Amino acid sequence: MNSQNYISVSAEPVKVVKFGGSSLADAEHFRMVKDIVTAESSRRFVVPSAPGKRFNGDDKVTDLFYKCYEVSDDRTALKEVFERVKERYELIIQGLGLSLNLSAEYESILSAISHHAGRDYAASRGEYLNGIILAHLLGYDFIDAAKVIRFAEDGSFDSETTNEILGKELAKHDRAVIPGFYGSMPNGTVKTFSRGGSDITGSIVARAVNACLYENWTDVTGFLTADPRIITNPRKIDVITYRELRELSYMGATVLHEDAIFPVRFAGIPINIRNTNAPKESGTMIVASADPSAPTPTITGIAGKTGFSVLNIEKDMMNAELGFGRKVLEVIEECGVAFEHLPSGIDTMSVIMNTHDIEKCRQKIIDGICHEVEPEFISIEDDLALIAVVGRGMVKSKGTAARLFKACAAADINIRMIDQGSSELNIIIGVDAGDFARAQNAIYKEFVG
């Protein structure tokens, strides 16, 4: 049954709003969050993270909870760390002037952690307690995520069971806060997503209520066209498609948890990245497909990653040797290594892998391949950086690759590898790690200005 059937009939479309840790780090930010939520009555379902850092060098509450777990056998150390957690929440409660007493919650969490309730349970309490406070402040119902977000026996997220249970539960609430980051296993124990996983919860809730929009409120103005550590003041992306986002995230552009895309993409719900500290700004809209009549820049964004190695293999008549590629990839697979790219020629084959992944099995890969396919030449070269130039505006547009290579040549950068997917949505180039920043600057200047 479609989740749409569960949600109470409402004249107004529903929005799901998720706030990151920095948006809920202290009482002042909680007030800003309240202003945002109450500014639009469609913002009916709210997903909070745990309190983040208030200043450089501060602790994230989730990290403090992980610490609690680590020292759980040492009663004094546990109490000491837990006091710091309590202090964070008490400062928020007092700062907001709320009459909310969490003593019983603190007691039961401390006792559970000291009785080995588990690492995920400990980590999840950051969102759990923040959810209680936020629900109190907003006057919204509180729904414990352990009751509505389900994982399967093998630890993977159980999307269909969750959608069913969550849809039914949310239909009973006009307005509610659902803490992010965690859910439960079939036996009831708490399990978390990976770090930054509150983004995923927001997306799951948006799907379950068939929201018209999933607003993800954070501390940046949106997705940027390039990494601000490499390009000075890069322009913001106004509209990006899910597929473009996936390409850029893979290359390390991080604003949103990668897995947060799937539930809403499946349901065709757009995501709007917004800045809690600048709520008037429109942020970045992530959509299934962009309006084709709207002006589209050639390049939506540039992202890159260092730390790659390339395995080069040469053998005459390789293309005619049945199973050559499979045998090579099997050796790599048997070493437990995933490959990233596979640019190949007629008698040459290159396999790009993360340097970190092959650290312990470099020789085993070489020996295995020599044994399986008897190449004439084989080597592994390190210090490769990959740069992805991504844009729906590149599809069927002529001259993009020429401009890209010309810009690199003018900056005296040697391109070691080229990979263009058949989607034409991206061109990936490999350059020496030493040319990484210069190449991105040259490409940015050519396409963005």
Binding site for ligand ASP (CB under 6 A): 21, 49-50, 60, 62, 126, 180-181, 195-199
User: Minimum distance from CB of 36 to ligand ASP (Å)?
Assistant: 18
Taking the least distance from each CB to ligand ASP, the nearer of 126 and 301 is 126
Nearer to ligand ASP among residue 180 and residue 183 (C-beta): 180
Q: 65 vs 436, which CB is nearer to ligand ASP?
A: 65
Q: Which is nearer to ligand ASP, 125 or 392 (CB)?
A: 125
Closest alpha carbon to 202 in 250, 253, 270? 270
The least CB distance from residue 323 to ligand ASP, in Å, is 44
How would you classify residue 310: left for phi > 0, otherwise alpha for psi between -120 and 50, otherwise beta? beta
User: Measured from the CB atom, is 262 or 339 closer to ligand ASP?
Assistant: 262
Supply 80's token pair. 């000491």
- Taking the complex as a whole, how short is the minimal distance between the CB of residue 110 and ligand ASP, in angstroms? 19
Q: Provide the minimum distance between the beta carbon of 65 and ligand ASP in the complex, in angstroms, as a whole number.
A: 9
CA separation for the pair 176, 173 (Å, rounded): 6
Chain centroid, CA 262 distance in Å: 11
Give the burial class of 166: count Cβ atoms within 10 A of its Cβ; 0-12 exposed, 13-18 middle, 19 or more buried: buried
Closest to ligand ASP by CB, 49 vs 162, is 49
- Upper half-sphere CA count for residue 204 (Cβ side, 13 Å): 30
CB of 133 to ligand ASP, least distance (A): 15
Residue 272 or 426 having the CB closest to ligand ASP: 272
* Residue 125 Cβ vs ligand ASP, minimum distance, rounded to whole Å: 10
What is d(CA 120, CA 183) in angstroms, rounded to the nearest whole number?
10
Q: How far is CA 448 from CA 387, 401, 429, in A?
A: 15, 15, 18
Other C-beta atoms within 10 Å of 354: how many?
Answer: 15
The DSSP code sequence of 112-156 is HHHTT--HHHHHHHHHHHHHHHHHHHHT-EE--HHHH-BB-TTSS
At its nearest, how many Å lie between ligand ASP and the CB of residue 127? 6
